[in-house]
């Protein structure tokens, strides 16, 4: 998207430029009252609207309504109705004189060509929720079930329900915790049960179901235990007080919060200055939840698809621990909407009023004059710049940090196309809405270009379908058509381009290896201008994605000359079948050493597990044979060890007996010296030698037993070495696994469906 002009660089007078796509990563404007923050915001919005970016603008003070005060002719009578006659009288100036001076000044400082372009191209539609003095907004539509696509997204549906319930409770003056408050949980389950039946709830029905819920339990608890009847009656009375209030009637009339419809208007501005704080919180919660839900229906995009601008966001995105119902939605948009090309631009006076996580999720910053010293310190620290840079700031001069850059620029904002008259009141909005500058007459419809048709070209004998515009750029189709997307057309028509949609029944059949797999090959050949040179989108579309005709206004791109006759499509059908027969393959896992073959759709991990089991079986079989050969030696050794153990025990017993006998003989000899019965010393020596011989024989028997046991251990180690060698040999087969292609036979490729498919390439918003 072409860069737009913010103003001029201070010091060089060179234009300061902004790439609109940079706002996909969101933006933040900081500046005290009188810094020129409103002028910067309106100038940004003007540039984006002229660049074709749809805008959702939340005006909490009434300043942004000045977007509609663009007077291309700069006639005094354009400005006269908006002047304060009393103030002019005190200055000694008539309204006519002031209007003449103002018109001359504006004519001199405004870009006339850009002003006329704004008048011709941009429409500003101002909505006044809660009031009939402008365009009211019906909030009852928020109780209607969402689209089927959104209803299937469990998280998105839950968030939408929670936001709706929190908004209603805030209107009743209640701040609730969506995870802990039983009133929120009960109301959410009532809405969810109605949506599950595709039922649009009225507020009256919601109130009656609070008193008598249509389900017996909430979670594991009976309803009366979870929230007793007396507390449910109090809640019902609070909601009924909203319904019975005369001031609630305007909330039931007007436009629905349908983002797809709202974004068909270049600028949709929601004026909330007239509302009480609970009413603002209620409406803004509903609006933000609808924006979040809409973003979840979009496909991925790096281009700026739409922008949400919230002026004076303080109080709706506060830092921890404050958690109003608007905060979660804004944080969700800042974290997730960039992936689908939806940007958020926030403006506030005081950086301390905004959650720091939200600030860290914004890529582009504009810093104007800040009053408090601690605010300047905080922002300087966040930007990593010198605090002295803020001393250069004056009215309409901002420090600009572009997305993805650490460089700061001093920028002086340009003069806006809109007259910055100041906040408007509700009665003034009605007067403004009647002025031609707000709603310019639509230009007469232009005839379609020569390369566009008002109806699809007929092809007898060939089925013709339309891809549902609601899903063409959805996340479910993974952004396949995103590279071909075109911006929303001024005439509101969809542009449809032809594609060839083929579904083929394919059978991969390999009898030798037992491989059998039936497959449906789905291809969308698009764009057809490229022919069938193997370029296609592998998309398996669902039946509900294909419409027999398109009810919306549309234009059609002609078929290429080489595919504008049925016989040429028949040739294309044969070419597609031949291409699939020659080039489409499937991989089969094969292990030739193990003679194992993979099954259809079997992963490598699952096939390797089968191979591992086969290897383990072979290892077990060979190991069993080896153990049988070693068993005879093991049995012989065991028998010898048993015999030697017995021999050792016998000799140890004999040695012990000899030692005892020797001790007795020595004792008897000693006593003989005292009694006179002396024994021969020679006999004592002979007995000692006998004892020594017995102990020597016992030691020899023990050594022989140790030798036998060591031999048994060596035999066991030898057996284990042989088993380990077997495992190493057999496990080498696991490395032999490879993928082999399974090819098709011509008879195994059958065209099941071939049709002309019209693809909507223009965005609906």
The more confident residue out of 318 and 436 is 318
How many CA within 13 A on the CB side of residue 435? Answer: 21
pLDDT in tens, 251-274: 878 888 888 889 999 999 999 999
Q: What is the predicted pLDDT for the residue at 337? A: 92
- The residue ranges of DSSP E strands in 353-415, in sequence order, are 364-367, 397-401, 409-413
Write the pLDDT tens digit of every residue in 674-694: 555 555 555 555 666 777 887
Express each pLDDT in 501-539 by its tens digit: 999 999 999 888 889 999 999 999 988 877 776 568 888
Q: Find the range with the poorest average confidence among 27-36, 142-151, 735-744, 755-764.
A: 142-151
Name the nearest CA neighbour of 149 among 485, 494, 470.
470
**DSSP state letter for 279:** H
pLDDT computed for residue 298 by the predictor: 86
Percentage above 90 pLDDT, the chain = 32
In this prediction, residues 479-501 reach a mean pLDDT of 85
The answer, yes or no, to whether residue 125 has pLDDT greater than 60, is: yes
List of residues 6+ apart from 664 with CB closer than 8 A: none
Residue 442 has a pLDDT of: 43
Percent of the chain with pLDDT over 70: 92
Looking at the predicted structure, is the pLDDT value of residue 481 above 90?
A: no
pLDDT for residue 435: 42
pLDDT in tens, 693-702: 878 888 888 8
pLDDT of amino acid 675? 57
Q: How far apart are CA 413 and CA 391, in angstroms?
A: 17
Sign of CA dihedral 371, 373, 378, 384: positive
Residue 596 phi/psi, 5-degree rounding, is -115, 145
Cβ 286 vs Cβ 329: under 8 Å: no
* Domain layout of the chain by residue ranges: 1-65+123-138+253-443, 144-250, 463-585+749-760, 604-740
d(CA 404, CA 408): 11
Average pLDDT over residues 730-739: 91
Q: What is the mean pLDDT of the chain?
A: 85
Q: Identify the helix (H) or strand (E) that includes residue 759.
A: strand 749-760
Read off the pLDDT of residues 227-248 as tens digits, 9 standing for 90 and up.
998 898 888 888 888 777 777 7
Q: Which fold does the domain 1-65+123-138+253-443 belong to in CATH? A: Rossmann fold (3.40.50)
How far apart CA 469 and CA 665 sit, in angstroms, is 119
Closest CA to 551 of 481, 464, 474, 493: 493
Q: Region 340-363: what's the mean pLDDT?
A: 91
pLDDT band at 664 (very low <50, low <70, confident <90, very high): low
Most confident of 34-48, 277-291, 431-445, 464-478: 34-48
pLDDT at 667: 57
Res 534: pLDDT:
54
Instruction: Express each pLDDT in 22-51 by its tens digit.
Output: 999 999 999 998 899 999 999 999 999 999
Order of strands, sheet of 4-9, starting from the edge strand that comes earlier in the sequence: 15-18, 4-9, 409-413, 397-401, 364-367, 27-30, 340-348, 301-310, 55-59, 267-271, 124-127
- CA torsion sign for 283, 288, 289, 290 is positive
For residue 460, what pLDDT band results from cuts at 50, 70 and 90? confident
Q: What is the DSSP letter of 443?
A: P
Q: Which DSSP symbol is given to 678? A: P
The model carries a pTM of 0.56
Tokens of 230: 């007396």
Lowest average pLDDT, out of 278-282, 365-369, 436-440, 594-598, goes to: 436-440
Tokens of 708: 């036998």
Average pLDDT over residues 605-627: 92
Spatial CB neighbours of 1, under 8 Å, sequence gap ≥ 6? 19, 20, 21, 51, 53, 303, 304
Burial of 220 (0-12, 13-18, 19+ CB in 10 A): exposed
Of residues 628 and 179, which shows the higher confidence score? 628
Q: Is the pLDDT of residue 307 over 50?
A: yes
What distance in Å separates the CA atoms of residue 25 and residue 401, rounded to the nearest whole number? 13
- pLDDT one-digit tens code per residue, 201-232: 888 888 888 888 888 889 888 988 999 988 98
On whether the CB atoms of residues 424 and 399 are closer than 8 A, the answer is: no
State mean pLDDT over 301-312: 93
Interval 75-89 mean pLDDT: 86
Closest CA to 596 of 759, 736, 438, 441: 736
Distances (CA, A) of 197 to 150, 158, 190, 200, 470: 15, 15, 11, 9, 22
> 42 near 66, Cβ under 8 Å?
yes
139-179: per-residue pLDDT in tens? 766 677 877 767 777 777 887 888 788 878 877 777 777 77
pLDDT at 433 (0 to 100): 56
Residue 571 CB-half CA count within 13 A: 9
pLDDT of residue 434: 46
Predicted confidence (pLDDT) per residue in 431-451, tens digit? 775 444 333 444 444 454 556
pLDDT at 663: 66
Q: Is residue 612 pLDDT above 50, yes or no?
A: yes
Spatial distance between the Cα atoms of 189 and 179, rounded to a whole number of angstroms: 13
* 133 or 316: which leads in pLDDT: 316
Cα distances from 393 to residues 180, 284, 365, 405, 506, in angstroms, run 46, 33, 15, 20, 70
pLDDT value of residue 668? 61
Sequential DSSP letters for 640-661: HHHHHHHHHHHHHHHHHHHHHH
| Residue 93 pLDDT > 50 | yes
Q: How far is CA 409 from CA 9, 11, 50, 381, 594, in A?
A: 7, 10, 24, 17, 70
pLDDT score of 533: 61
Q: How confident is the model at residue 583 (pLDDT cuts 50, 70, 90)?
A: confident
Nearest partner of 160 among 142, 174, 178, 176, judged by Cα: 142
The pLDDT score that the predictor gives to residue 440 is 41
pLDDT at 728 over 60: yes
């Amino acid at each position: 998207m072409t860069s737009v002009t913010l103003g001029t660089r201070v010091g060089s007078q060179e234009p300061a430029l902004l790439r609109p796509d940079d706002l996909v990563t969101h933006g933040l404007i900081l500046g005290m009252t009188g810094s020129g923050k409103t002028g910067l915001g309106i100038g940004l919005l003007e540039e984006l609207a002229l660049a074709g970016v749809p805008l959702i603008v939340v005006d909490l003070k009434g300043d942004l309504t000045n977007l509609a005060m663009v007077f291309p002719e700069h006639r005094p009578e354009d400005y006269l109705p908006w002047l304060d006659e009393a103030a002019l009288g005190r200055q000694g100036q008539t309204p006519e004189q002031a209007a003449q001076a103002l018109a001359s000044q504006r004519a001199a400082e405004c870009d006339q060509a850009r002003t006329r372009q704004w008048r011709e191209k941009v429409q500003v539609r101002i909505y006044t929720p809660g009031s009939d003095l402008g365009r009211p907004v019906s909030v009852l539509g928020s109780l209607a079930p969402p689209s089927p696509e959104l209803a299937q997204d469990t998280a998105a549906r839950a968030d939408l329900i929670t936001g709706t319930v929190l908004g209603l409770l805030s209107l009743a003056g209640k701040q609730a915790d969506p995870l802990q408050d039983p009133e929120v949980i009960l109301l959410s389950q009532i809405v969810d049960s109605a949506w599950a039946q595709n039922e649009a709830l009225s507020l009256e029905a919601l109130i009656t179901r609070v008193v008598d819920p249509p389900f017996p339990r909430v979670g594991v608890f009976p309803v009366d235990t979870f929230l007793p009847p007396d507390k449910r009656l109090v809640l019902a009375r609070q909601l009924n007080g909203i319904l019975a209030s005369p001031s609630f009637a305007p909330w039931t009339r007007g436009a629905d919060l349908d983002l797809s419809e709202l974004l068909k208007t270049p600028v949709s501005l929601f004026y909330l200055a007239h509302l009480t704080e609970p009413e603002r919180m209620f409406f803004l919660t509903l609006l933000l939840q609808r924006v979040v839900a809409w973003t979840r229906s979009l496909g991925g995009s790096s281009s700026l698809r739409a922008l949400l601008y919230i002026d004076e966001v303080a109080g709706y995105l506060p830092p921890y621990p404050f958690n109003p119902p608007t905060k979660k939605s804004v944080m969700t948009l800042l974290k997730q909407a960039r992936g689908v090309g939806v940007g958020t631009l926030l403006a506030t006076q005081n950086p301390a009023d905004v959650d720091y996580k939200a600030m860290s999720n914004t890529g582009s910053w504009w810093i104007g004059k800040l009053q408090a010293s601690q605010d300047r310190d905080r922002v300087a620290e966040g930007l990593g710049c010198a605090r002295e840079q803020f001393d250069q700031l004056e009215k309409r001069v901002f420090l600009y940090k572009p997305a993805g850059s650490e460089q700061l620029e001093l920028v002086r904002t340009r003069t806006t196309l809109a007259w910055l008259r100041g906040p408007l009141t509700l009665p003034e909005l009605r007067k403004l809405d009647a002025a031609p500058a707000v709603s310019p007459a639509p230009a007469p419809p232009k005839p379609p270009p020569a390369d566009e048709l008002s109806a699809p070209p007929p092809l007898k004998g060939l089925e013709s379908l339309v891809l549902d515009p609601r899903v063409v750029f959805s996340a479910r189709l993974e952004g396949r058509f995103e590279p071909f997307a075109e911006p929303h057309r001024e005439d509101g028509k969809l542009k449809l381009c032809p594609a060839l949609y083929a579904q083929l029944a394919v059978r991969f059949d390999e009898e030798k290896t037992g491989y059998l797999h039936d497959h449906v090959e789905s291809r969308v050949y698009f764009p057809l201008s490229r022919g069938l040179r193997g370029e296609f989108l592998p998309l398996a579309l669902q039946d509900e994605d294909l419409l027999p005709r398109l009810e919306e206004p549309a234009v059609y791109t002609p078929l290429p000359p080489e595919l504008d006759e049925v016989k040429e499509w028949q040739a294309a059908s044969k070419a597609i079948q031949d291409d699939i027969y020659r080039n489409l393959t499937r991989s089969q896992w094969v292990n030739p050493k193990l003679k194992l073959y993979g099954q259809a759709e079997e992963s490598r991990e699952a096939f390797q597990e089968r191979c591992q089991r086969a290897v383990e079986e072979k290892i077990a079989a060979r190991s069993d044979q080896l153990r049988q050969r070693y068993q005879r030696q093991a049995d012989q050794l065991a028998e010898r060890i048993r015999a030697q153990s017995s021999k050792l025990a016998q000799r140890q017993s004999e040695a012990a007996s000899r030692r005892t006998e020797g001790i007795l003989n020595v004792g008897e000899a000693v006593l003989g010296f005292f009694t006179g019965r002396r024994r021969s010393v020679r006999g004592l020596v002979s007995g000692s030698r006998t004892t020594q011989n017995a102990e020597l024989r016992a030691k020899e028997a023990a050594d022989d037993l140790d030798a036998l046991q060591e031999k048994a251990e060596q035999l066991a180690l030898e057996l284990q070495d042989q088993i380990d060698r077997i495992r190493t040999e057999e496990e080498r087969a696991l490395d032999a696994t490879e993928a082999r292609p399974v090819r098709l036979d011509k008879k195994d490729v059958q065209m099941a469906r071939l049709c002309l498919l019209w693809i909507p390439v223009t965005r609906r918003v």
